[in-house]
Amino acid sequence: MPYLGKADYERMLDLAVALLESHQPDTLRQLIAQELLRALDGTVLITKDEEWTPSSGAVAAWHRDAPAPTELDDRTSQYVRAGYPFASHYAIRPNRGPRTAAQLAGDRVWPHSETASAMRRSFGTRHMLGLPLPDPHGSVRGFVVHRAGTDFDTQDLLYATRVQPLLSAAVAQYRLLTRWRQGGVPGTPTTPCGLTPRETAVLLTLAEGLPATAIARRLGVSVRTVHKHLQNLYRKLDTVDRLGAVLRAQELGLLTAPAPARSGGRGRARGMARGMVSPADSGC
């Protein structure tokens, strides 16, 4: 029976620490790409974090020896966007376990498919491993690892299964940091009041009025971990509850103040929960 070695888990732990310490969305993507390509002996990694059509949608590929993703030509992009054979499989199945292209299309069918031929021409690869992520809306998102040589084996599939929860949390962190950037923070996000990037992510979701269970799902962590982050937030912001933390964060410039509500105190409280992280010039 296959099992992961100590080195595999140590790399996952190193990746988790690096992801939590990073403030840059692009750095998160690079760390994920490097780990998946190294651990799965991949040649190219395709990331999917948006909806594609066969003719539209930005598509980029991480090559094993390249520091940044590169855009694909139009013809290759069409095959990648089509997502054969993963898109049709995962779209109708709740089980998002990693699978190889040969497993889904068939050992005899896959090598002779148009997609396989296109990948050989573009990347020099012969095999693909789909590593989808959970999505509450049913969208098919995740990663596809391309490899030359032999196909992915049971050991590779086991690693892919074990690393899925970490990737889910990393993607959630990436989205929150991207939202932070889009909210107007110039340069590298800082950590005002001594907040860690993960605590800042919890603060963002807290500002949306989400309960601990929903925050846990959003960030890909346990409810217990969320409560630990909340306690740290209360301590660092010198508050005792959620609303107090949001109000204090707004006072310090960590969250933008909402427009005045018309419905009195209760409406105002709900409005405060919709704040977004802004450039901080805090007095912590």
Span 178-228, pLDDT tens digits: 776 666 444 444 556 778 777 888 888 888 888 999 888 888 778 888 998
Q: Which CATH class is domain 185-272?
A: mainly alpha
- pLDDT tens for 91-120 read 888 888 999 999 999 999 999 999 999 999
Q: Give this prediction's pTM.
A: 0.67
- Percent pLDDT > 90 in the chain is 34
pLDDT single digits (tens) 25-59 = 888 888 899 999 999 999 999 998 877 877 888 88
CATH 3.30.450.40 given to domain 6-180: yes
Residue 73: CB atoms within 10 Å: 9
pLDDT for res 260: 44
Distance CA 118, CA 140 (A): 22
- Indicate if the alpha-carbon torsion angle 280, 22, 175, 94 is positive or negative: negative
Local confidence band at 24 (pLDDT 50, 70, 90 cut-offs): confident
Residue 265 has pLDDT above 80, yes or no: no
Q: Domain ranges in the chain?
A: 6-180, 185-272
Please list the alpha-helical segments (H only) found in 108-183.
114-123, 154-182
Per-residue model confidence (pLDDT) at position 277: 40
